[in-house]
Amino acid sequence: MDIKSAFLNGYISEEIFVEQPKGFIDPHNPDHVYKLSKALYGLKQAPRAWYDRLTSFLIGHGYRRGNVDQTLFIKRIDGDMLMTQIYVDDMIFGATKRTLLNEFVQAMKQEFLMSMQDHGIFLSQEKYATEMVRKFGMEHTKPKATPMSTNEKLHRDSEGVGADQNLYRSMIGSLLYLTTSRPDLCFSVGVCARYQASLKESHLQAVKRILRYVHGTTKLGIFYSNSSAIALVGYSDADWAGNSDDRKITSGGCFYLRTNLVAWYCKKQNSIFLSTAEAEYIAAGSCCTQLLWMKQMLADYGFEQDILTVFCDNTSAIDISKNPVQHSRTKHIDIRYHFIRELVTGKIINLEYISTANQLADIFTKNLDRTRFEFLRGALGMCQL
């Protein structure tokens, strides 16, 4: 559900004065200013004013805030429950009874101007992607099938030609914003973002390739289908010594509620690890922290999860998590990483093997060829409507 002109609904407590807009200047009092009584787009106070207005409305109708997420509101009536999640001017809501849904929609429409879809949710930034490609003058370039080439290994390139740092940072910032609905860009943009302080022409060309990929895929988004099943699973992967500059690993992961992708990440770790098993073990630990937070979120929704499954494609890492004996190959690992053992022995997490061919987190840790990339992109639920 989308709230039209959401920020115009907010009330402001501060005294704010603005100049008369061009074309609407009072000829009798051209030097006068207007005092705002409601928020406007462009005001720093507008997002907060809108959130306060909507919060007051929901709490006044019997909702309470979630314990973990302050943008989650829950209402319980005679054993039934209605939940709504706020994201700026969009709302996702669900209930155990359809009558509660209908009542909520009607109440919102009476208070605000609304729009919504009857089928599933399609998350896309098509307009933003198109404008971004045009902004950086890439609209007439030939699109690329993948954001990065499998032969492309970015490095510091100390002998390379310098490039425009302001342009590069602007491109990176724009692409990072796009990754909120484009997990297929997460790895490539993250890699390029590492070189903002030591920029060379080779890095700029890599970012331009990403923009050429975006140019050919502006309509891509994530579709979330209707589903009553709530089963949370995670996929964890790592690229051992994949960074050619310092040999630190890149870990990545994604999380699904049944078949719907709900979260993902790609992160360069701070430490150097001595083996693939060690790298995968640490990556699985990072994945578990995210999964436990999501478990708490689902508990707020009223959906308790039993043993959570994390899929890993390294059997040695799984063995380390299940064996409490400190062998010579694992005793040097920092204690903070061993909490995954407690989760496994406490039957909170089940670390399960999956073949590399079916490891969906592969797209967040390395460059892939077109066939593999498009397969994993589809597995993330990305499509065009």
Q: Please report whether residue 375 resides in a domain.
A: no
Q: Are residues 189 and 237 in the same domain?
A: no
- Count CA within 13 A, CB hemisphere, residue 40: 10
144: phi then psi, degrees, rounded to nearest 5: -105, 150
- What count of other Cβ atoms lies within 10 Å of the Cβ of residue 343? 22
Distance CA 384, CA 377 (A): 12
Do 233 and 346 lie in one domain? The reply is: yes
Q: Under a CB-based contact definition with an 8 Å cutoff, are residues 192 and 206 in contact?
A: yes
Indicate if 347 and 231 belong to the same structural domain.
yes
**334 shares a domain with 257:** yes
Cross-strand pairs, 268? 250
How many folded domains does the chain comprise?
3
Q: Is residue 373 part of a domain?
A: no
My answer on whether 102 and 43 are in the same domain is yes
Do 350 and 245 share a domain, yes or no? yes
Residue 366 inside a domain? The answer is: no
377 found inside a domain = no
Same domain, yes or no: 233 and 348:
yes
372: left (phi over 0), alpha (psi -120 to 50) or beta: alpha
| Calpha distance 220→214 (Å, rounded) | 9
Round to whole Å and give the CA distance between 331 and 155. Answer: 32
Where among 166, 187, 216 does a domain terminate? 216
Range of the domain at 257: 227-354
CB 46 within 8 A of CB 10: yes
For the beta carbon of residue 190, count every other beta carbon within 10 angstroms.
Answer: 20
Residues 210 and 235 in one domain: no
CB burial string 69-82: b at 16+ within 10 A, e below? eeebbbbeeeeeeb
Same domain (yes/no): 178, 270: no
Q: Please, which residues have CB within 8 angstroms of residue 231's CB and are 6 or more apart in sequence? A: 257, 258
Q: Running along the chain, 385 residues long, what does each successive block of 10 average in pLDDT?
A: 71 82 83 82 79 88 86 89 84 85 85 66 86 93 92 77 87 93 93 85 91 94 79 87 67 90 84 72 84 88 86 85 61 60 84 92 90 94 86
As a whole number of Å, the end-to-end CA separation of the chain is: 18
CA atoms within 13 A on the CB side of 150: 8
pLDDT above 70 as % of the chain: 89
> What per-residue confidence (pLDDT) applies to 263?
92
Please report whether residue 374 resides in a domain.
no
Distance, CA of 85 to CA of 12 (rounded, Å): 23
CATH code of the domain containing 339:
3.30.420.10
* Ordered DSSP codes for 91-137: EEEEESSHHHHHHHHHHHHHHS-EE--SS-EEEE-HHHHHHHHHHTT
Report if residue 367 sits inside a domain.
no
Domain boundary residue among 116, 132, 164? 116
In three-state secondary structure terms, 282 is helix
**193 within 8 A of 352, measured Cβ to Cβ:** no
Six token digits for residue 200: 């060379």
Within-domain flag for 16: yes
Query: Looking at the structure, do residues 43 and 158 belong to the same domain, yes or no?
Result: no
Whose structure tokens read 């699985």? 284
Q: Indicate if 70 and 146 belong to the same structural domain.
A: no
Tell me whether residue 128 is in a domain.
yes
Q: Do 212 and 247 fall within a single domain?
A: no
Q: Give the span between the Cα atoms of 282 and 287, in whole angstroms.
A: 9
Which of 66, 81, 116 is the C-terminal boundary of a domain?
116
- Pairing mode, strands 72-77 and 80-87: antiparallel
Q: What is the pLDDT of residue 210?
A: 95
CB atoms within 10 A of CB 114: 15
Question: CB–CB of 247/272 below 8 Å?
Answer: yes
The number of C-alpha atoms within 13 Å of 306 and in the hemisphere containing its C-beta is 0
Q: What is the pLDDT of residue 300?
A: 80
